Amino acid sequence: MNLRPKLMLAFISLIIIPMIGLGIFSFINSESLLEKKYSELSEITLKAIGGNISYFFREMDQLSNGNVISSEVQETLKQDDFLPEEPSTLIRINQAEKEMSRILFQHPAVSFVVLYASEGTMFRSYRNDPTTFRPITFQELQQNALYDDVIARGGIPLWIGPHEQRDLTGVKPPLFTMMRVVKDMESFNDLGIMVTQYKTEEVNSMLKAFQNPDAESSGTRYFILNDKGLIMLDSNKQFDGQSIDLYTDSAPQLTKVYKSSRMEFDGVDSLVSSYQLDRNGWILVSIQTWDSLTNENIRFVQWIGMITVLGIFSAVLFNVFFVNRVAKSIIKVVRKMRLVEQGLLDIRITAQGKDETVLLANSFNSMVERIGDLLIEVRDEQERKQHAEMMLMQAQIKPHFLFNTLESINALAAQNEGGKIMLMVRRLSNLLRTSMHHSEEISIKQEVEHVRSYLEIQKYRFEELFTYELVVPEEAFEYSILKLTLQPLVENSIQHGFDGYEDGQGVISIIVTVEPQKIIITASDNGIGMNHDVLYKLTEGYSPSSKKHDEAEMGERRGLGIRNVADRLRIHYGTGYGMMICSSEGCGTTIRCVIPKSRGEGL
């Protein structure tokens, strides 16, 4: 894939998609935070409403406690001489009911009160309000399922919510009903049953106080449920008497303390929160439509959308005016590099500015120029290698050395020295065999035998002018070396180093050392050494043209030469290997050759 499609793919993958994802994540996260926030607010609200409702019922309990111990109620229920169908009985009952009215209706929420004496007499007292309790005989009340529960409580009030006991408390209007046993304050015997009904307006007003003004159509509404899920009271008076299960799959009536979750209620996305009241397992539930909660979040979502769009627009501008410019610069360099690959080394790039693209162009120009220089240097190295190889071929058999050796053999023949002739011929044949070896590399053992033969021949020719020593460990014999590496070194010592020496004064030493990664060959003599100019010529002042001039001047006397050995080692083995010369006048010469440990392929 080309650079521009890659940049476009990276732009879409790393900028566009993350920014859109960030917007979606922010929206979802904001909704989650809103749900958490309004859940906490709903909990505070429901606790406040629940506290008010609990206070209302505790107040009704205290009022009822005062009523059941009042003398009016106690004396009324203690009368047991009421005779049915007697006119005086009706008068006495009416009189008792009037006495009751003065104390029983101290609170405006009280709507209707019925007293049942233990013998069955019923006393009623009520305001001019609609009532829902159906006055039944004491015998019918005893047959109701709630009667045993009321008796078992022993005077503790039993509250009945609207729509819970429709056969007993009625339906319209919905009222709270309390039933309790009235005890004799002296003997604590049961005197009768008190049934009191309370208006729901005060509880409704508590719910309305926390409801939005437009809650009739949208917003928050409140329910009071019993533990069966029956809606006893709806702040909007719409679902009174119905089951909560008809409108939601959740079961808020099972809430132990507080619960809030987002769900559908009556087909509308809503936040449903429920709170446990401290009476009869009743549950206070708030329903808040999600749209009403997110009205204030719309502007936040709009800001997120606007920021996302601006971010994408800025990213597009960045891609067009910056990334594309950088991509064009890189593509321009790539095209020029392809021309360089075709061999056009005169290619250059012109760039303007102060950023890294200019540095890239300048680096490209420097690289192309360096490649050109390296190619020239490689061509020079090849010429030098070819020249060194040519000199090697010329030095394999030196006519002057061969003539002198044959003359020495001839002299031995004239002296009838057959043993020495045989030794000289063997050494000469070994010398010629190594020189004419078909491979460029030979084993170190062969190279050592070659230089040993050469030294023995030269010792005979120069009449014991020098002595020599060869220190080579056997483990070095298996490794390879360029042929004719040692001969030029000892030849330099014999021809130049021992000039003016008497018999036996010259010493040549060749030591081979095997190290873990390389082999070190040290050739030293105690000759006259080299002055600074000669040493400089061998190490630093060399060039192909000067070398040809030196060879023309020195002729056969110089032979292959130390410099050619150094060139061959460096070219063949590369950097890190080669030759080092240490010498000064009157102190002899030491030459150190470093080659890699290699067994070669043609050995």
> Which sign does the torsion angle of CA 125, 131, 133, 136 carry?
positive
pLDDT tens figures, 175-193: 888 999 999 888 888 888 9
Bridge partners of residue 519, in order along the sequence: 514, 595
Contacts of 201 (CB under 8 A, 6+ apart): 109
Which of the four pLDDT bands, split at 50, 70 and 90, describes residue 402?
confident
Mean pLDDT of 385-396: 59
pLDDT at 599 over 90: no
For 451-588, strand residue ranges (E) read 466-471, 480-482, 506-514, 518-525, 578-583
Question: What share of the chain has pLDDT > 70, as a percent?
Answer: 85
pLDDT at 104 over 70: no
Domains (ranges, CATH) in the chain? 69-199 (3.30.450.20), 397-596 (3.30.565.10)
CA distances from 458 to 12, 145, 452, 463, 488 (A): 82, 141, 10, 8, 13
pLDDT at 526 over 80: yes
Q: Which helix (H) or strand (E) holds 274?
A: strand 268-276
Which of the four pLDDT bands, split at 50, 70 and 90, describes residue 376?
confident
Upstream peptide bond of 108 is cis (omega within 30 degrees of 0): no
Mean pLDDT of 163-175: 79
Mean pLDDT of 63-76: 83
pLDDT at 61 over 80: yes
Which of the four pLDDT bands, split at 50, 70 and 90, describes residue 205?
confident
Of 592 and 559, which is predicted with more confidence?
A: 592
pLDDT tens figures, 126-153: 776 665 566 778 888 888 888 889 999 8
Of 500 and 422, which is predicted with more confidence?
A: 422
Question: What share of the chain has pLDDT > 90, as a percent?
Answer: 12
Mean pLDDT of 505-531: 92
Q: How far apart, in whole angstroms, are the C-alpha atoms of residue 208 and residue 25? A: 37
- Long-range CB contacts (within 8 A, 24+) of 305-314: 305/23, 307/23, 308/19, 308/20, 308/22, 308/23, 311/19, 312/15, 312/16, 312/19, 312/20
Mean pLDDT of 498-527: 88
Question: What pLDDT score does 80 carry?
Answer: 66
Which amino acid makes up residue 532?
A: H
Question: What pLDDT score does 475 carry?
Answer: 92
pLDDT tens figures, 269-296: 888 999 998 888 899 999 888 777 776 6
pLDDT at 553 over 50: no
Q: Residue 485 — φ and ψ, nearest 5°?
A: -90, -40
DSSP string over 307-324: HHHHHHHHHHHHIIIIIH
Mean pLDDT of 59-84: 79
List b or e across 43-71, with b for residues whose CB sees 16 or more CB atoms inside 10 angstroms.
Answer: bebbeebbebbeebbeebbebbeebbebe
Question: What is the rounded average pLDDT for all residues in the chain?
Answer: 80
Are 600 and 480 in contact, with CB atoms under 8 Å apart? yes
Which of the four pLDDT bands, split at 50, 70 and 90, describes residue 542?
very low
pLDDT at 201 over 50: yes
Which of the four pLDDT bands, split at 50, 70 and 90, describes residue 72?
confident
Contacts of 199 (CB under 8 A, 6+ apart): 108, 109, 110, 111, 129, 173, 175, 176
* pTM of the complete model: 0.49
